[in-house]
């Protein structure tokens, strides 16, 4: 199993550009989520999905879109990049949320917006 994979590992964008961060998992997990990690702020939830075709907003959803057309993939779209979106982005998946299931994290994407 590859686990949770993310591409790209690093990305530099100019303000106003758009891009998609890719996330895929091969564990047949229903629950997938996107977090951003900023110094001193821990991980903050951007969007999540409890299954194919179902997505919902997390704590900091503004400026980001997601879709979940398959169980395996959960891309995160930045619509018009802003310097405030400079961060490290982690995708995670789990069998379910609640009931003590562990979340498995991808290696992260380090995004810089200039």
Partner 1 sequence: AQSVSQHNHHVILSEAASLELGCNYSYGGTVNLFWYVQYPGQHLQLLLKYFSGDPLVKGIKGFEAEFIKSKFSFNLRKPSVQWSDTAEYFCAVYFTGGGNKLTFGTGTQLKVEL
> For residues 50 and 24, what is the distance between their CA atoms, to the nearest angstrom?
15
The DSSP string of 83-113 is GGG-EEEEEEEES-SSTTPPPEE---EEEEE
- Confirm if 60 and 44 have CB atoms less than 8 A apart: yes
Tell me how far, at minimum, the Cβ of 70 lies from partner 1, in Å. Answer: 19
Report angle CA 7, 12, 15 to the nearest 5 degrees: 125
Contacts for 38 with CB less than 8 Å, ≥ 6 apart: 44, 87, 88
> Does 110 engage in binding with partner 1 (CB under 8 A)?
no
Q: Write down how long the chain is.
A: 114
Question: Of the candidates 8, 56, 83, 112, which one interacts with partner 1 according to CB under 8 A?
Answer: 56
> Does 10 engage in binding with partner 1 (CB under 8 A)?
no
Residue with Cβ nearer partner 1 (35 or 81): 35
Question: Of the candidates 89, 90, 93, 113, which one interacts with partner 1 according to CB under 8 A?
Answer: 90
Tell me how far, at minimum, the Cβ of 61 lies from partner 1, in Å. Answer: 12
Tell me how far, at minimum, the Cβ of 84 lies from partner 1, in Å. Answer: 18
Tell me how far, at minimum, the Cβ of 98 lies from partner 1, in Å. Answer: 5
Which segment (8-16, 63-71, 78-86, 96-104) binds partner 1 by CB under 8 A?
96-104
């Amino acid at each position: 199993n590859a686990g949770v994979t993310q591409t790209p590992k690093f990305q530099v964008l100019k303000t106003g550009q758009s891009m998609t961060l890719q996330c895929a998992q091969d564990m047949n997990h229903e629950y997938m989520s996107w977090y951003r990690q900023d110094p001193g702020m821990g991980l903050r939830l951007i969007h999540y999905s409890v299954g194919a075709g179902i997505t919902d907003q997390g704590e900091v959803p503004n400026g980001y879109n997601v879709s979940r057309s398959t169980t395996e993939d959960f891309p995160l779209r930045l619509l018009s990049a802003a310097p405030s979106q400079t961060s490290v982005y982690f995708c995670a998946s789990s069998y379910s949320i609640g009931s003590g299931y562990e979340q498995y994290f991808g290696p992260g994407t380090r995004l810089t917006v200039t």
